[in-house]
């Protein structure tokens, strides 16, 4: 009996020791960062140029026949007029009529080039929401602190910050050691198949690959939550895949005065309820593990212990993260019913009911595995689960290594420009133009160097999209500093 108690005591001590060692180890990854010396820029002129860009309604529409390409032509003219030094110094090509590709020749041709990306198109405005905008969405209104308008954050803020940085460096007589390409797509909001894809095909035809690619993505926020009281820079090292499935219930229909025990609407509603009550399983390995490990050192001891010992607390961690939409989207393939259609008359039981359900696929899942899991959850032979006509499935993007020198370089530059910021690798819930470049570099990162304020992220694709002038200035300074740092002999 005594030996048994001793064994149990030894086991408990050993178990607790493992938990504590893992917790301490995960909290010891910090490096010393030197604050950057940032260049002074003429922010008022930069704001004026951004404002002009926001006035041009470069709207993408799913039916490309309805796109008013004259606005994209006008946007090109604006860039040429406002940044003559850039167009004179860099090689500039128009890709598939409306996208732009710049090449800034480097001095050292032995180094792989880098690629900076942004897109010039914006999403349409919901006409019913116009009266809720503080300023008209295409007025480019600016006040003492803010520039307002559709595209301010997504993604003309980054586009103009890149142009401002290159123009500034050219005026200083700077020449990069490493060739720098800049790609501005014109149809990112509808998939990039006519813009970014053509640019990627051009690079493939020329045999050009990249040291790293940097496109739009997570910004810098102080509202990540989870006990982190610092600013967080979210750098996506992958992005979710995509599939929309159609669920169809069929029956004989009939008169509403003599309904059966279930109707097609009830059958389909039950299937949707099952999907919402049974979310797809979390993926806490791979990029999610990297994300959690980056966050853990900023947490208190107990939550850090949970992060550090996912083998034991995985279920608890999933429960915590799943309590809010952002956390839930971080760790699993999300399920979102978006369209429900059935019936033609109030006294007729429909013979068919349909629903569309959209899934954003986390690395570790695939479109095929999602279809299989949906069929198992619905578990009803009366429900057909299929891809709709014209639908497509897209795998999650390959995961770029957050331990690579390229990621570390980017991380250090972010921390040097934004002191005290925690850099967190993760997975972008939405798609970007980088989906077309996954064969051109193992190091693809999605990050916008823009500090956001309360509610700013909800304004993207929504009402009162805007960008802070101070945040815009810091974004310009970030790109200047990043490009200058590429010329350093030792990056890390």
The pLDDT tens digits of the residues spanning 182-204 come to 999 999 999 999 999 999 999 99
Residues 428 and 387 in one domain: no
Residues 380 and 411 in one domain: no
Same domain, 374 and 437: no
Q: What is the pTM assigned to this prediction?
A: 0.92
Closest CA to 399 of 237, 212, 218: 237
Cα separation, 168 vs 113, whole angstroms = 20
- Domain boundary pick from 394, 416, 435: 394
The single residue listed with the structure tokens 């802070």 is: 468
Task: For the beta carbon of residue 339, count every other beta carbon within 10 angstroms.
Answer: 12
Rounded CA-CA distance 231/220 in Å is 6
Q: Is the pLDDT of residue 483 over 80?
A: yes
Is 82 a residue of the active site? no
Residue in the block written with tokens 């961690």: 317
- The torsion defined by the Cα of 412, 414, 418 and 424, in degrees rounded to 10, comes to -90
Q: What is the pLDDT of residues 47-56, one digit of tens each?
A: 999 999 999 9
For residue 121, with 0-12 CB atoms within 10 Å meaning exposed, 13-18 middle and 19 or more buried, which class applies? buried
pLDDT at site 27: 59
User: What's the rounded Cα separation, in Å, for the pair 106 and 110?
Assistant: 10
Whether 308 contacts 296, CB under 8 Å: yes
Q: Are 156 and 121 in contact (CB under 8 A)?
A: no
Q: Which token pair is 75? A: 């946007």
Ramachandran angles phi, psi of 354, nearest 5°: -130, 150
Enclosing H/E stretch for 426: strand 422-428
**Mean pLDDT for the stretch of residues 96-116:** 97
Higher pLDDT pick, 171 / 19: 171
pLDDT tens per residue, range 372-427: 999 999 999 999 999 998 888 899 999 999 999 999 999 999 999 999 999 999 99
Least confident among 72-86, 102-116, 267-281, 297-311: 297-311
Domain count, the chain: 2
Residue 23 within any structural domain of the chain: no
Q: How many CB atoms lie within 10 A of CB 9?
A: 10
CB 180 within 8 A of CB 483: yes
Q: What is the radius of gyration, based on Cα positions, of the chain?
A: 25
CATH number of the structural domain spanning residue 205: 3.40.630.10
Do 166 and 278 belong together in one domain? no
Query: 343 and 429 share a domain?
Result: no
Of the listed ranges 27-41, 127-141, 229-243, 337-351, the least confidently predicted one is 27-41
Instruction: Judge whether residue 351 has pLDDT over 80.
Output: yes
Q: Give me the helix-helix angle, 156-171 and 43-54, nearest 10°.
A: 140
Handedness of CA 416, 447, 236, 457 (dihedral sign): positive
Q: Does 28 score more than 60 pLDDT?
A: no
In a domain, 16, yes or no: no
Please check the confidence at residue 299 and state whether its pLDDT lies above 90: no
The per-residue b/e assignment along 157-189, b for 16 or more CB within 10 angstroms, e otherwise, is bbbbbbbbbbbbbbeeeeebebbbbbbbbbbbb
* Mean per-residue pLDDT, 239-260: 87
Whether 251 is a known active-site residue: answer: no
Q: Is residue 255 part of a domain?
A: yes
Residues 128 and 202 in one domain: yes
Residue 223: the pLDDT is 61
Examine residue 33 and state whether it is found in any structural domain, yes or no: no
pLDDT of residue 290: 87
- Which residues, including other chains, have CB under 8 Å from residue 319's CB and lie 6 or more apart? none
3-state secondary structure of 442: coil
Both 217 and 194 in a single domain? yes
Query: What is the DSSP-derived secondary structure letter of residue 396?
Result: P
CA distance 475 to 217: 13
How confident is the model over 30-55, as a mean pLDDT?
A: 92
Look at 20-29, 77-86, 106-115, 429-438 and tell me which has the smallest mean pLDDT. 20-29
Domain edge (last residue) among 394, 418, 446: 394
Q: Which residue has the higher pLDDT, 223 or 329?
A: 329
Residue 78 scores a pLDDT above 80? yes
Residue 246, token pair as written in the block = 């159609």
Beta strand residue intervals within 271-391, DSSP E: 334-342, 348-349, 352-361, 383-386
Same-domain check for residues 329 and 377: yes
383, 275 contact by CB (below 8 A):
no
pLDDT at 77: 98
Do 336 and 468 lie in one domain? The reply is: no
Do 342 and 474 fall into the same domain? no
Range of the domain at 125: 43-238+397-485
* Within a domain: 36: no
Phi and psi dihedrals of 467, rounded to 5?
A: -140, 135
- If one counts every other C-beta atom within 10 angstroms of the C-beta of residue 3, the result is 7
Q: In the 8-state DSSP scheme, what is residue 125?
A: P
Q: Are residues 195 and 304 in the same domain?
A: no
User: 438 and 388, same structural domain?
Assistant: no
Specify whether the CB–CB gap between 221 and 426 falls below 8 A.
no
Measured between alpha carbons, how far is 202 from 206 in angstroms, rounded to an integer?
A: 6
Average pLDDT over residues 4-16: 64
pLDDT of 5:
61
- pLDDT recorded at residue 10: 64
Asked if residue 5 is part of any domain, the answer here is no
Q: Which residues pair with 117 in a beta bridge?
A: 183
- Domain boundary residue, one of 362, 379, 394: 394
Residue 14 lies in a domain: no
* 173 φ/ψ sector (left φ>0, alpha ψ -120 to 50, else beta): left
The overall longest dimension of the chain from CA atoms, in Å, is 88
CATH number at residue 348: 3.30.70.360
Considering the domain boundaries, does residue 214 fall inside one? Answer: yes
Rounded to an integer, what distance in angstroms lies between the CA atom of residue 253 and that of residue 237? 49
Among residues 343, 345, 344, which one has the least CA distance to residue 354? 343
What number is the average pLDDT over the span 352-375?
96
Q: Which of 188, 194, 239, 251 is catalytic?
A: 188
| 89-103, 272-286, 299-313, 348-362: least confident range | 299-313
Catalytic residue, from 82, 121, 318, 464: name it: 121
pLDDT tens digits, 257-295: 778 788 999 999 999 999 999 999 998 888 888 888 888
Cα dist from 447 to 166, 235, 315, 423, whole Å: 18, 5, 30, 10
Cβ atoms of residues 21 and 13 within 8 Å: no
pLDDT at 313: 77
């Amino acid at each position: 009996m005594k030996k048994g108690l001793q064994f149990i005591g030894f086991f408990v001590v050993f178990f607790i020791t493992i938990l504590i060692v893992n917790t301490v180890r995960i909290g010891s990854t910090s490096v010393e960062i030197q604050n950057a010396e940032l260049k002074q820029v003429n922010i008022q002129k930069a704001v004026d140029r951004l404002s002009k860009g926001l006035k041009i309604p470069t709207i993408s529409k799913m039916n490309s026949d309805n796109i008013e390409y004259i606005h994209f032509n006008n946007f090109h003219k604006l860039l040429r007029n406002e940044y003559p030094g850039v167009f004179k110094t860099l090689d500039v090509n128009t890709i598939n009529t409306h996208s732009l590709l710049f090449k800034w020749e480097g001095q050292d041709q032995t180094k792989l080039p880098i690629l900076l990306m942004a897109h010039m198109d914006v999403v349409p405005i919901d006409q019913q929401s116009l009266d809720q905008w503080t300023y008209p969405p295409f007025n480019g209104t600016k006040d003492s602190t803010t520039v307002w308008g559709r595209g301010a954050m997504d993604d003309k803020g980054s586009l103009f910050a890149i142009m401002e940085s290159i123009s500034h460096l050219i005026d200083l007589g700077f020449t990069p050691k490493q060739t720098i390409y800049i790609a501005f797509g014109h149809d990112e909001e509808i998939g990039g198949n006519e813009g970014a894809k053509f640019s990627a095909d051009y690079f493939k035809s020329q045999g050009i690959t990249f040291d790293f690619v940097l496109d739009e993505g997570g910004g810098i926020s102080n509202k990540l939550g989870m006990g982190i009281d610092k600013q967080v820079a979210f750098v996506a090292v992958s992005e979710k895949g995509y599939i929309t499935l159609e669920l169809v219930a069929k029956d004989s229909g009939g008169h509403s005065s003599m309904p059966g025990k279930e109707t097609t609407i009830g059958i389909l509603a039950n299937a949707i309820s099952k999907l919402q009550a049974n979310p797809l399983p979390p993926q806490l390995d791979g990029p999610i593990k990297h994300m959690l490990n980056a966050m853990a050192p900023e947490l208190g001891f107990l939550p850090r212990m949970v992060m550090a010992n996912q083998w034991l607390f995985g279920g608890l961690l999933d429960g915590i993260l799943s309590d809010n939409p952002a956390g839930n989207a971080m760790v699993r393939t999300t399920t979102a019913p978006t369209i429900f259609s059935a019936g033609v008359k109030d006294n007729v039981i429909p013979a068919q009911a349909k629903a569309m359900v959209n899934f954003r696929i986390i690395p570790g899942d695939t479109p095929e595995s999602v279809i299989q899991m949906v069929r198992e959850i619905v578990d009803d032979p009366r429900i057909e689960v299929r891809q709709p006509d014209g639908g497509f499935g897209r795998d999650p993007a390959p995961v770029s290594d957050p331990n690579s020198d390229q990621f570390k370089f980017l991380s250090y530059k972010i921390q040097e420009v934004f002191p005290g910021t925690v850099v967190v690798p993760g997975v972008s819930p939405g798609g970007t133009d980088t989906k077309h470049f996954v064969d051109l570099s193992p190091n693809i990162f999605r990050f916008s160097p823009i500090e956001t304020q309360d509610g700013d992220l909800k304004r993207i694709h929504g009402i009162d999209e805007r960008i802070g002038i101070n945040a815009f200035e810091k974004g310009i300074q970030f790109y200047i500093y990043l490009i200058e740092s590429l010329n350093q002999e030792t990056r890390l």
